[in-house]
Each structure stands twice: as C-alpha cells, then as structure tokens.
Structure 1
Amino acid sequence: MTGAKTAVDWLVSVAPDPGACRWEWERNPLGIALLPAGKAWDVLILPGELGGPTLDVLTRVLDRPGPVLVDFDGNRVGFFVPPGTAARWLGTGIRTAGAGTWIVVPYPGRESRGVRWLVPPDGSGLLTDPALLELVMHEAAAGLAGKKGR
C-alpha cells in the first residue's frame, strides 16, 4: 500500500492543513475529500461521451497518463493537468477546475460513492500534458463522428 500512501501524500499536500485533511479523509465513510485545484494540478472535465474515448486513445499513446477521475454515472471524466491550464483552456464543452476551485477526490485504492479513479495517482506528480490531451481529444472526437456517420 506504499503507492496509495504516496498518492495520498501527494493529494493532501494541496490542502490548507494536509494533516487534518488526511485524518478526516481516512475516516470519511464516503471515502472522499474536497481538495483545491490550481496548486499541484488543474482538472479538465470532459463530457463522458468524449472522456472515455479520449482516455482510450491516450492510453494507446502513453504508458501511463496522469490521474483521471470519473463520476459513477460516467457523465464526466476529469483529467489532471498542470496548474494554470484551466485559465488558458478554450475548448467548447470542456469544464475546468483551476485556481480558486475545489474538486471531490476519492481516496486512492478505496471504493467511494460518486467518483472513482480510472487512473489513480501514483504520488509522483505525473500529470497529462494538455497539448497532447487536446490532440487526443480531437482524435477521439473524430472517431465518434465517424461512428455517428455510419
């Protein structure tokens, strides 16, 4: 469980009080924490119909992308990207979480309600490159358009 502990350390490092955040998170029956975006990461939130195919393409290009969240309905998929990305992102239909926003994050390695990790953090700080993510989104969208055209 060293990897999960390292991932937790990395995630709580952005909290105003990391120790208190960890203590509450480990005892939270829902297995979730509210963490500020914009410090160690931003999150680009894609509609589920695009997010799933984007992750499929991304994992064909990279051995390991940065962390990726999904809500349990699959309606939204969140890709962790470098801080500052949200302020510069212009993609239509893509929501962003950056400085001044907070996100619901499940405890790594534990089941939670509402959100889950598709790609859990490994604690290394690995994030998805936003330029690559944009290219992959275009490829995924083109694939979806091709399927709808058939």
Structure 2
Amino acid sequence: MEWLAAAASDPRICKRQWHDEGGVAVLACGRFWDVLSVPEDLGVPALDALLCIPQPPGPALADAAARRVAFFLPPDPQGRWIGSGIRYAGRGAWIAVPAPHRVAGRLRWLVPPDGTGALFVPAAVELALQLALGRRATHGDPKRRCPMCGAPRARPLQRGTDGTG
C-alpha cells in the first residue's frame, strides 16, 4: 500500500480516501509508473500470457464499466503506444485506483501491487498484446474493426446461394 500511495501528492490523504466509502484515490502517472489501458478482450488474454512467464508481474487494474485492463509500466517519457482503443497515461495524467486487495465500485485489481515496485516489462506486454490480437483476429467476429487501425475487417468469402460461388 505504501508504494502505491507514494504516487499521491499527499499519501496520508490517499490512504484516507481508500478507507472512505468510495474507496478510490486519484494518483499521478509518470513518476513511479505509467499506465497502458487496453480493451478487456485484448487485456485479459494478454495478462494470462504475462502471468505464465517467470518474472514478477506488475500491477494490473480492471475497469468493469469501461471494459478495460490497465497495465502498470515503468515511466516512459515518449510513451509511443499506438492502436485503436489503446490509451497511454504518462507524466501529467492521473488514474483512479482502489486500495490494493480491494474492489471499489467498477475498479478491481487483477494483479494488486505487491509493494516491491515490480512493474510489467513493456516489451513483454507488447508481445502478449500482439499474441492476443492474433488470437482475436483468428477467432473473432468478422464484423469487428481492426484494433490497430480501426478499419472494418473484410468479411470472409461465402458461397453464393445461387450456385455460382
């Protein structure tokens, strides 16, 4: 709890907010960590893949209402993550978080901060997201849009009902 609260401008107020009825504090990104937020249908399978590699995972937060998963990464002043539905929060951005090991409304930790300062490795997150994207493209709904560029996916070829195809 101390490590996460240290990102607040006043850690004591942050802890009080966590113990209040709402149970959420708003913390600054860019000092101890940045946050990469992705759609849940990419984030959950990516997190599953990340939890299989032999290194301590970083914190991961789920927003049930927005259907997003947020990965905590080392601060990156350039933050060059791009793609449809990808949101990167670095210096100057803020994120609402519940206390570790607590659910607060629509927010819950999928991997709570462990207090050591462990964060996800950006290259590993990128690879896990690419794998999840590939799986989604293979098994996904053909009506969906491309998550990288937002363009509609081509429909699979279907045999015509008039016997010509």
Range of TM-score over shorter length: 0.7 to 0.9
Q: Please give the TM-score of this superposition, normalised by the length of structure 1.
A: 0.86
Q: Secondary structure at the match of 1:88?
A: coil
Alignment of 1:9 with 2:2, yes or no, is yes
1:25-63: CA deviations, max 9, x gaps? Answer: 22x211111011111000000011111111111112245
Describe the SS at the equivalent of 1:61.
Answer: coil
CA deviation map 1:91-131 (0-9, x unaligned): 21210111001101011122210210000000000000101
Higher relative contact order (CA 8 A, sep 6+): 1
Give matches, 1:26-105, under 5 Å: 26=19, 28-62=20-54, 64-73=56-65, 75-84=67-76, 87-93=78-84, 94-105=86-97
Q: 1:62 to 1:75 in 2, by over 3 A?
A: farther
Structure having the larger proportion of residues in helix: 1
- Cross-structure match for 1:19: 12
Does residue 143 of structure 1 match 2:135? Answer: yes
Matched, 1:110 2:102: yes
Q: Share of identical aligned residues, percent? A: 43
TM-superposition CA deviations, 1:51-99 (whole Å, max 9, x none): 11111111122454100001123611000000116x3323212101110
35-44 or 12-21, larger mean C-alpha shift: 12-21
Larger radius of gyration: 2
Aligned alpha-carbon RMSD (Å): 1.8
Report how far residue 16 of structure 1 moved: 1.1
**How far apart are residue 21 of structure 1 and its match?**
2.0
TM-score, normalised by the number of residues in structure 2: 0.79
Q: Please, which runs of 5 or more residues in structure 2 have no aligned partner?
A: 143-155, 157-165
**Structure 1 unmatched ranges of 5 or more:** 1-7
For 2:82, the aligned partner's letter is G
